[in-house]
Every structure is written in structure tokens, then in C-alpha cells.
């Protein structure tokens, strides 16, 4: 009998606020240790937290984006435990009344759509960092990150494979960047996942879960889950029981190992933080945040398939980031909706490949939507071939021309569409290549392509390829 895999994810998304969640210290990454640790970050005696309103706005945005309930009166609670990088001896988090409750994120794995239900998303502060490099034989503590706002996003145990978990994590990663609440930088730890994994026989109650902590890449997420699932199945099949535990994934060995079991789990002694008042989120505040929300990827996807005739696959790619979607919209605004499909091809084809090769973000593309639209328009009106289009793209990418028309003009790449002129060239090609003509007549189709190639070469690629094809066929038949 088969095993069913059950996965739930908890994701910590670092919110893009300028200052920390409970004080005015900066959240910028990479500063010298403890240069962004003010009195509140250091938890000096007597200091008090004051909530950063922007962090709440981020949480509201997220809630609205996933169709969740926004709690009218949410409460901050203290999670008490001792650790050197936790300066107060407690983390301010939310327990009973998180800002966001419920909501769904739709994923697509191998063409199958699935809605993953979210349990909740709550605001909390990040801890600092322990630096274990040698400081005169001691560990150092960097509190720059202490107090950075996080949104912890928790799903129901809805995913049934590592592939689904990764699809969810990617979708969430796209969404939080799309709505501008998280920079999504996984290397810097701005977006990190914990995976709760268990296995069971189909139809049976949930098995005992183990939580894999701090996965900061999609690849590690997938590897860690797959390893963990196999490990759990082996344990069960060999008659052992799974102990509830927190485990760590070692990317070097590809294995998970137990960090602590339920017996040594903390009692966090949550209670409402008496230093902070409940957060009242009024309908007016929600409406204000809603009004400032960008169109969401799902809505755009819908629009791109229905209004612009893109395939679901193309629309997926174009809506994978807000910047790419905007680039597409800006391009189509010039070419017209009728040419949207061609625009999409260029963006996810040549443009994406080139960006990828040079490790550039689409926002930094040296070729603008207007320039790309110019290329598309000239292809559509037969001024240039698709192939010449690629050459124009290259020139514009390298900053050697202002727009497609100027490049075509300067390079003399205007397509030859005059039938008489093309016929004359074909005659020359046929006369110069009797062997190919003979082979074609003997039934070798390849020879036809060679003749087309010769004709194109003779015109430096400028002849309209369709016309060359048609006329050459006619000549050879005649």
C-alpha cells in the first residue's frame, strides 16, 4: 500500500519597512554589527516598543491579496525564551489574534490547479544573530536584525508532495514581492520556510510530523522534504514510530537531522504584551490599503488569457513578477492587443534569455518596452523578418541605436518584398547551384532548404523568407 505525504509550510517573510517593527532603527541589510541596534533593539532597561504602522499595512496587504479575514482587533503577545540573540528574553509575536486569518493561494503542478488554504499570518519581530567566528574565544552577538518585522505565513497541511510545496513557496514568493511587502531575497534570509512533514496511509489520520527549519532556497526545500519523506517511510516500514521533532537540513549531505524532540520543547508562556495596545484595523483603513494595491497576478493572468489571447502557460510566465507583467503591458500598449502574443514571445524568449545570461533584472533591461514594441511592429508590418528582428534587438540591447526604425534604416535591413527583385535573385541562385536543383528533383527535400539559404544569403537575410519560399517552389515546379 502506498504512503501519502502531508506537508504544511510556515514561511517567514521579512517586511520591507524602513525601520524596525517596534523602534526607529534601520532595517537595512549588511551594516557593521550592532550599528543598527538602538536602545530598544538592545533591550536596555526601561525601553518600550512602539508599533510601526507600516508593518501592519504590509500584513493587511497580504491578507487582502489572499482573500483572508483581517482581524479587527489583533493582539501582540510575548513568546518567552532565553537565547543570546533574543535581547528581551521574549519575542513579540502574535498568538490568539493574528492580523490575518484564512485565505488561499492557488498553485499549478503539472497542469493541475490546487488551492492551498492558509491558517493565518501574523506579525512578529526577528531575533538578532549569533556570530560564532572567534571573538577572543567567545561568540559575538549582532543585534542589527533584532526587531526586523516579519510576517509568518502558515498553511494548513494541504500539500501532498515536495513539488506542491515548492510550487506553493514559489507562488507565495512571487506574491509577496508583487504586492511590495518583501524583497524576496532568499540569500539574505528575507524569505525562509519551515516545512512540517508527515506521512500516512491514505484515509488514515495525520501521522506524527517533524518540522524542517530554515530552508532558504526552493532547491533545499525540495531536497529536504524528499529526504525527510523517504526517511519517515523507512522508519515506519521498519516498524519504528516517528517522534515529533524539529530537524535541520544539511545541504552538504542532503540529509535532515534531529535538533530537538518534543520532550525538550520550550514552554513559551505566551501572554498578551502589556506594553502594546491591541491593533484596531478599521474598514476605512482596509479600504485605504485596498485602494493602493496593485492589480494582483491572478487577475492579470485572467485578463492576459481572455483579453490578450495568451495561453495559460505564457500568462504564467508573464505574471511571474510584477515587473515582467508591467513590461509586457507597456509593450502591448504600443503594439496593440492584436500583437500581444508576439510581444509575450519576445519577452519570455529573447529578452528573458538575455537577461538571464547577464544576470539582470527586467527593471534593469537595457532595452525598453517602447524599443521592443518597435521591433515587434516592424516584424508585423513585414518591414523586417523575425530573424532580422533578433539582430535589431541585439543592436538596441548594446545601446547602439535609439529605436528599431533607426537601426533598420542605418543598417539597411529593410526587408526585400519586391517580387521581381526576389525572382531575379532566385534565378541567379538556381543557375549557380545546379547540383542542389538536381538533388531536389531527385526527391531530396534538404536541397530545397539549401537553396532558400543561398537566396537569403545573397540578400544578406533581407528577403522576405515566405516570399522566397513561395517563389522558389514555383520556379522549381515550373
Partner 1 sequence: MSDLINASLRELSAALDAKQVSSVELSTLFLDRIEKLNPAINAFVTLDRARTLAQAAEMDARRAAGEKSPLLGIPLGHKDIFCTEGWLTTCGSKMLHNFVSPYDATVVTKLKQAGVVTLGKLNMDEFAMGSSNETSYFGPVKNPWDTKRVPGGSSGGSAAAIAARLAPAVTGTDTGGSIRQPASLCGLTGLKPTYGVVSRYGMIAFASSLDQAGPMAKSAEDCALLLNGMAGFDARDSTSLQRESEDYTRDLAKPLNGLRIGLPKEFFGEGMSDDVRAVVEAALDQYRKLGATTVDITLPNSGLSVPAYYVIAPAEASSNLSRFDGVRYGYRAPEYANLDDMYSKSRAQGFGSEVKRRILIGTYVLSHGYYDAYYLQAQKIRRLIAADFVEAFKSCDVIMGPASPDTAFAFGEKSGDPVKMYLSDIYTISTNLAGLPGMSIPAGFSDKAGSKLPVGLQIIGNYFEEAKMLNVAHQYQLATNWHTQMPEGI
**Interface residues with partner 1 (CB under 8 A)?**
39, 42-51, 78, 80, 82, 84, 87-90, 141, 267, 269-271, 274-277
**Judging by beta carbons within 10 Å of its beta carbon (0-12, 13-18, 19+), is residue 110 exposed, middle or buried?**
exposed
Pick between residue 45 and residue 443 the one whose CB is nearest to partner 1. 45
Judged by CB, which is closer to partner 1: 18, or 269? 269
Partner residues linked to 201 by β-bridges: none
Smallest distance from the beta carbon of 98 to partner 1, in angstroms?
18
Pair 74, 94: CB distance under 8 Å: yes
Which residue, 135 or 271, has its beta carbon nearer to partner 1? 271
- Smallest gap from residue 44 Cβ to partner 1 (A): 7
C-alpha separations of 131 from 139, 141, 190, 307 in Å: 6, 6, 18, 53
3-state secondary structure string across 118-164: EEEEEEEECCCEEEEEEECCEEEEECCCCCCEEEEEEECCCECCHHH
Nearer to partner 1, 139 or 290 (CB): 139
3-state secondary structure the chain: CCCEEEEEEEEEEECCCCECCCCCCECCCCCCCCCCCCCCCCCCCCCCCCCCHHHHHHHHHHHHHCCCEECCEECCEEEECCCCCCCCCEEEECCCCCCEECCEEEEEECCEEEEEEEEEEEEEECCCEEEEEEECCEEEEECCCCCCEEEEEEECCCECCHHHHHHHHHHHHHHHHHCCCCCCCCCCCCEEEEEEEEEECCCCCCCCCEEEEEECCHHHHHHHHHHHHHHHHHHHHCCCCCCCEEEEEECCCCEEEEEEEHHHCCCCCCEECCCCCCEECCHHHHHHHHHCCCCCHHHHHHHHHHCCCCCHHHHHHHCCCHHHHHHHHHHHHHHCHHHHHHHHHHHHHHHHHHHHHCCCCHHHCCCCHHHHHHHHHHHHCCCCCHHHHHHHHHHHHCCCCCCHHHHHHHHCCCCECCHHHHHHHHHHHHHHCHHHHHHHHCCCCHHHHHHHHHHHHHCCCCECHHHHHHHHHHHHHC
User: CB-wise, 44 or 337, nearer to partner 1?
Assistant: 44
Identity of the residue, 77 or 159, whose beta carbon is nearer to partner 1 in the bound complex: 77
Nearer to partner 1, 40 or 169 (CB): 40
- Based on CB atoms, which residue is closest to partner 1, 2 or 138? 138
Question: Residue 48 and residue 70: Cα distance in Å, rounded?
Answer: 26
Cβ closest to partner 1, residue 87 vs residue 369: 87
Least separation in angstroms between CB 57 and partner 1: 17
Q: In whole angstroms, how close is the CB of 85 to partner 1 at the nearest point?
A: 9
The nearer residue to partner 1, 130 or 382, going by C-beta atoms, is 130
Instruction: Give the residue with the Cβ less far from partner 1, 139 or 466.
Output: 139
Q: CB 42 → partner 1: shortest distance, Å?
A: 6
Residue 47 vs 352, nearer CB to partner 1: 47
Cα gap 334→382, rounded to integer Å:
17
Give least dist CB 75 to partner 1, A.
13
Q: What is the smallest separation between the CB atom of 141 and partner 1, expressed in angstroms?
A: 7
Work out how close the CB of 45 gets to partner 1 at its nearest, in angstroms, rounded to a whole number: 5
Q: How far is the CB of 198 from partner 1 (least distance, A)?
A: 23
CB of 147 to partner 1, least distance (A): 13
User: Minimal distance in Å, beta carbon 39 to partner 1?
Assistant: 6
Q: Closest distance between partner 1 and the C-beta of residue 154, in Å?
A: 20
In degrees and rounded to multiples of 5, residue 131 shows phi and psi of -105, 115
Amino acid at each position: 500500500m502506498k504512503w501519502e505525504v502531508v506537508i504544511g509550510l510556515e514561511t517567514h517573510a521579512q517586511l520591507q519597512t524602513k525601520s524596525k517593527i517596534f523602534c526607529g532603527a534601520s532595517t537595512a541589510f549588511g551594516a557593521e554589527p550592532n550599528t543598527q541596534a538602538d536602545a530598544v533593539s538592545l533591550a536596555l532597561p526601561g525601553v518600550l516598543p512602539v508599533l510601526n504602522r507600516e508593518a501592519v499595512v504590509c500584513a493587511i496587504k497580504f491578507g487582502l491579496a489572499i482573500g483572508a479575514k483581517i482581524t479587527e482587533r489583533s493582539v501582540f503577545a510575548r513568546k518567552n525564551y532565553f537565547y543570546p540573540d533574543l535581547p528581551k528574553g521574549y519575542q513579540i509575536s502574535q498568538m490568539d489574534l493574528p492580523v490575518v486569518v484564512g485565505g488561499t493561494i492557488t498553485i499549478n503542478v503539472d497542469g493541475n490547479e490546487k488551492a492551498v488554504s492558509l491558517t493565518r499570518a501574523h506579525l512578529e519581530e526577528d531575533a538578532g544573530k549569533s556570530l560564532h567566528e572567534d571573538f577572543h574565544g567567545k561568540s559575538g552577538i549582532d543585534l542589527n536584525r533584532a526587531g526586523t518585522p516579519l510576517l509568518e505565513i502558515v498553511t494548513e497541511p494541504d500539500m501532498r508532495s515536495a513539488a506542491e510545496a515548492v510550487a506553493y513557496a514559489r507562488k507565495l514568493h512571487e506574491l509577496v514581492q508583487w504586492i511590495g511587502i518583501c524583497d524576496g531575497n532568499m540569500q539574505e534570509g528575507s524569505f525562509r520556510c519551515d516545512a512540517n512533514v508527515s506521512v500516512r496511509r491514505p484515509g488514515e489520520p495525520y501521522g506524527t510530523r517533524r518540522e524542517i527549519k530554515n530552508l532558504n532556497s526552493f532547491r533545499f526545500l525540495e531536497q529536504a522534504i524528499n529526504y525527510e519523506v523517504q526517511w519517515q517511510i523507512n522508519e515506519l516500514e521498519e516498524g519504528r514510530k516517528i517522534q515529533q521533532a524539529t530537524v535541520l537540513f544539511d545541504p552538504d549531505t542532503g540529509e535532515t537531522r534531529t535538533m530537538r524532540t518534543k520532550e525538550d520543547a520550550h514552554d513559551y508562556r505566551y501572554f498578551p504584551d502589556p506594553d502594546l495596545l491591541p491593533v484596531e484595523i478599521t474598514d476605512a483603513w482596509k479600504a485605504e490599503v485596498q485602494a493602493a494595491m496593485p492589480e494582483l497576478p491572478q487577475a492579470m493572468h485572467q485578463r492576459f488569457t481572455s483579453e490578450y489571447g495568451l495561453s495559460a502557460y505564457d500568462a504564467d510566465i508573464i505574471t511571474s513578477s510584477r515587473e515582467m507583467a508591467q513590461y509586457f503591458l507597456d509593450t502591448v500598449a504600443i503594439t496593440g492587443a492584436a500583437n500581444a502574443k508576439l510581444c509575450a514571445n519576445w519577452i519570455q524568449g529573447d529578452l528573458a534569455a538575455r537577461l538571464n545570461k547577464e544576470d539582470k533584472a527586467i527593471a534593469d533591461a537595457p532595452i525598453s518596452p517602447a524599443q521592443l514594441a518597435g521591433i515587434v511592429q516592424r516584424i508585423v508590418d513585414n518591414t523586417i523578418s523575425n530573424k532580422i528582428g533578433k539582430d535589431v534587438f541585439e543592436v538596441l540591447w548594446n545601446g547602439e541605436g535609439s529605436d528599431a526604425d533607426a537601426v533598420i534604416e542605418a543598417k539597411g535591413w529593410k526587408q526585400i518584398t519586391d517580387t521581381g527583385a526576389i525572382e531575379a535573385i532566385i534565378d541567379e541562385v538556381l543557375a549557380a547551384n545546379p547540383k542542389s536543383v538536381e538533388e531536389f528533383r531527385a526527391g531530396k527535400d534538404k536541397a530545397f532548404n539549401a537553396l532558400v539559404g543561398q537566396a537569403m544569403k545573397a540578400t544578406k537575410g533581407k528577403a522576405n523568407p515566405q516570399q522566397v519560399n513561395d517563389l522558389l517552389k514555383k520556379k522549381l515546379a515550373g
